[in-house]
């Protein structure tokens, strides 16, 4: 069976992330991706995870009890990556799930400007062979605008430096999520 966007995002991470890597979860939410990444990077790697909601930090902290040493949970927007993560720190992979916190406040959503700011900061730090993945949920108010801006941003990336994949079930009803994977080919 073809993988869902969510399962495929984990597959794409698994292919490039290994023991000792530094990675970013740009939208921590309930911590599912943070946990997945913490297992991939092993005891010598590190996951930096971001969210603007206290609830997200609490939910994620409960899931990560066994991985405290290899994770930093920031109660801060991903637009602060530029200041929080050293420009000399190579990032092997990063993931975004754009939209609102499942079972949370549907008014608190990711926004195009801050999402693009975070993407720029991540691409500056992305190692050659590394991947930045976005799973875009856009069925909510504001989602369509963010989806289009993120798509344009990724379409404009130079093909000499990046390969960009777009994965979506195009015959599904109700705004099926879009997965974008940006892979860095060269510096
Ligand atoms: C679709 S959810 C993420 C789901 C998460 N990956 C999981 O495993 O549960 C989107 C999350 O992005 C968060 N968010 C919104 N604006 C943000 C920002 N500027 N920086 C970081 N996170 C943000 C929301 O609070 C929400 O928790």
CB 138 within 8 Å of CB 146: yes
What does the pLDDT look like over 50-60, one tens digit per residue?
Answer: 999 999 999 99
52 within ligand 1 shell (Cβ under 6 A): yes
pLDDT mean across residues, the chain: 97
> Using alpha carbons only, how large is the chain's radius of gyration in Å?
15
91: Cα within 13 Å, side-chain hemisphere = 32
Cβ of 101 closer than 6 Å to ligand 1, yes or no, is yes
Task: Give the pLDDT of residue 103.
Answer: 87
Q: Which residue has the higher pLDDT, 13 or 187?
A: 13
* CATH number of the structural domain 5-184: 3.40.50.150
Ligand 1 contact, 10 CB (< 6 A): no
Convert the pLDDT of each residue in 9-30 to its tens digit. 999 999 999 999 999 999 999 9
pLDDT at 130: 98
**Domain residue spans of the chain:** 5-184
Mean pLDDT of 159-182: 98
Phi and psi torsions of 17, nearest 5°: -95, 135
* Alpha carbon distance 12, 10 (integer Å): 5
Question: In this structure, which residue's CA is closest to atom 22 in ligand 1?
Answer: 51
């Amino acid at each position: 069976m073809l993988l869902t966007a969510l399962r495929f995002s984990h597959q794409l991470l698994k292919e490039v992330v290994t023991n000792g890597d530094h990675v970013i979860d740009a939208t921590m939410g309930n911590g599912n991706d943070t946990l997945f990444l913490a297992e991939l990077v092993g005891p010598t790697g590190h996951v930096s995870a971001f969210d603007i909601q206290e609830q997200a930090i609490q939910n994620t902290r409960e899931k990560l009890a066994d991985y405290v040493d290899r994770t930093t949970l920031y109660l801060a927007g991903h637009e602060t990556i530029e200041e929080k993560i050293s420009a000399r720190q190579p990032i092997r992979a990063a993931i975004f799930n754009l939209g609102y916190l499942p079972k949370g406040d549907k008014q608190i959503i990711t926004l195009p400007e801050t999402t693009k700011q975070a993407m720029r900061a991540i691409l500056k730090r992305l190692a050659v062979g590394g991947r930045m993945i976005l799973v875009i949920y856009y069925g909510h108010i504001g989602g369509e605008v963010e989806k289009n801006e993120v798509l344009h941003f990724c379409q404009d990336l130079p093909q000499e430096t990046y390969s960009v994949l777009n994965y979506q079930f195009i015959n599904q009803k109700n705004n099926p999520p879009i997965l974008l994977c940006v892979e860095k080919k060269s510096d």
